[in-house]
Structure 1
Amino acid sequence: MRIAFIGQKGIPVKIGGVERYVDEVAARMAEHGHEVFVYVRNHYTPRKLQSYRGVKLVHIPTIKTKHLDAITHTFFATFHALFQGYDVINYQSIGPSSLCFIPKLLLKKTVVISTYHAQDYYHKKWGWFARGFLKLAERVTYKIPDRTIAVGESIRDYGMKNYNADSIFIPNGVTLLGRAGSLNLFKKWDLKRGKYLLTVSRLVPHKEIHTLIKAFAALKAMKKIDSSWKIVIAGGGSYTDGYVKQLKAMSRGRHDVVLAGVQKGERLSALFKNAYVFVQPSRSEGLSLALLEAMGAGLAPLVSDIPENLSAIQGNGFVFRTGDVFDLINKIEYLIGNPSKVKNMG
């Protein structure tokens, strides 16, 4: 079959759960003999790269601004796709899925699928107009395609309750991490095995990284944990320069808060496999690939109590109240003081 993916920034993945999802799924479909096409944005995927892991990359222009990047790229990609004879077109996320009605109306022999990753209208980076549009796009995602894939149980259940939509629950999966590099890769940060908390995330407000920094700084100020402990925050911004500046300001002058930037490969494996606990403080998720990777690496997770996180850990981890700095302080203090509990949960 000829299968097209539309809506992601591109592959190979640099950052982003949707991009990681498409990277893995598209490549596996190509391995099974399908002809797979992934539409990519030139600011994410180098223009000279025409194929990757057996997948053909289709470079389509976009208007690179916070509000227009995804939707303009999706529009141009959709127009291009109308003339390519695809058997399946798979839209990623609710924003791009708002345009899935075009091939649904015009291509009677093409199966149109939307994959619902997360309730993007909860993301704090969007204003009222964008959130309203995303709510409308959500309705389209559930009602228009031939099938809708929900990556989390809560997304499937939400669709049934609010739209009477029978979406298919196909949970995200991850490849277990390969050979880990040594912490010597990070000499400038002086990281010690089992002496730092790790979070891996895009630096966007709904991920609540500021809450983690506040809690950790308070623990240090109250001298409830010794000075050797650190937190490592791996990831980059996504049209959120203001929020990134806020995090840098909060960590300025602190040797114990490491803004590590985007990490991948052996360097990311080293961070996962040498951390003490993985912390996911987010206010909104789909089914977090970073959380699944952390658990696959044997890390005990400490997560906010949103349904998507609870569904992912299935009782195999620790939980705090979303956005509650004081509860997070107490949970971190408890975990650092009880290594046997952490080990049993890892």
Structure 2
Amino acid sequence: MTAGAVAPEPLALQGPVTLASLGDTRAFLESHPDGRALDLSGVTMLDTAGAWLLTSWQAGKGGTLTGANAAQTLLLETVTEALASAVPAPKPRPVHHQAGDTLAETGKAVSQVAVGLGESLGFLGLVMARLGWTILHPTRLRLTALVHHMHQAGLNAVPIVALMGFLIGVVLAFQGASQLQQFGAEVFVVDLIAISILRELGILLTAIIVAGRSASAFTAAIGSMKMREEIDAMRVLGLDPIELLVLPRVLALVLMLPVLGFIANISGLVGGGLMAWAELGISPGMFRTQLLNNTDVSHLLIGLIKAPVFAMIIGVVGCHQGMQVKGDTESLGSRTSRSVVVAIFLVIVVDALFSIFFALWGI
């Protein structure tokens, strides 16, 4: 400023500067040149929206604010500090980085799967160690908890498993009849039903149903205890959560899944026999004769051999996911859903491996 120059008169802002008058105040400020002072002595009311507008005008046009009372000054300083600490919006990534980002996300997902698999194997080893210790010291097994979980995971699942097996037998008989009638080989529908159910479908679908029921229930129960810090309290008291919570659940499934698989097999044969009788006229006596003559007991044993392995997978996955629950309900829901998906996926994969193994050995 040259000598003798007179500073411009400050702008006098009058009345309320609030959210309701924000448009008029903005128009007033934008209609005046930059760099002038703004006198707030005539402002009767100032809220957060008005303070934001004034501080933004001050930062953008380089003006100064004068005449504010103590309350207005405190509000302006608070808004200024909040604006200064605000996190800036992230800049959009260049297009040429998208390929690298996709590769990085893929690597991250693969590493997470590998870490999760390692943790699951470690948890399985811990459960097996506790099982071996319990076999050497049977008095440490909680029989009350074992019977309770056998009732919950086994006995309560009988109706749905029996209904599922019956319907699967009906569907197999109906579909097999419609195809075999074209070749005049209707009688072989008995072999189709028996081998399919006894060898594969009976125990596989039973394991899937039990995974949906029991894996989610195990995760929810243990996860709720984890959220309420009950498991930490057990460790403080010198109690082993694996021995108290995990082992009875896993053993209950190992004992009950073969029984449920056998019930599913019987129900499937009954459903298939009834449909064969209604659709093809194969009497129950003829069905029984064809079943005993052409179906070896090895098919039943092959199916039931898989049951303890499936039970171990379902129990370990459900309990392990429950142990991974954090302190919020979102984590509980996520882990419960994941336990069902992982358990069913692993059951199907292991069943495929069993099928390949038996095929290679000609069993």
| TM-score higher than 0.5 | no
TM-score, normalising length from structure 1? 0.23
TM-score, normalising length from structure 2? 0.22
Higher relative contact order (CA 8 A, sep 6+): 2
User: Of the two, which has the highest radius of gyration?
Assistant: 2
Q: Hey, which of these two has a bigger chunk of strand by percent?
A: 1
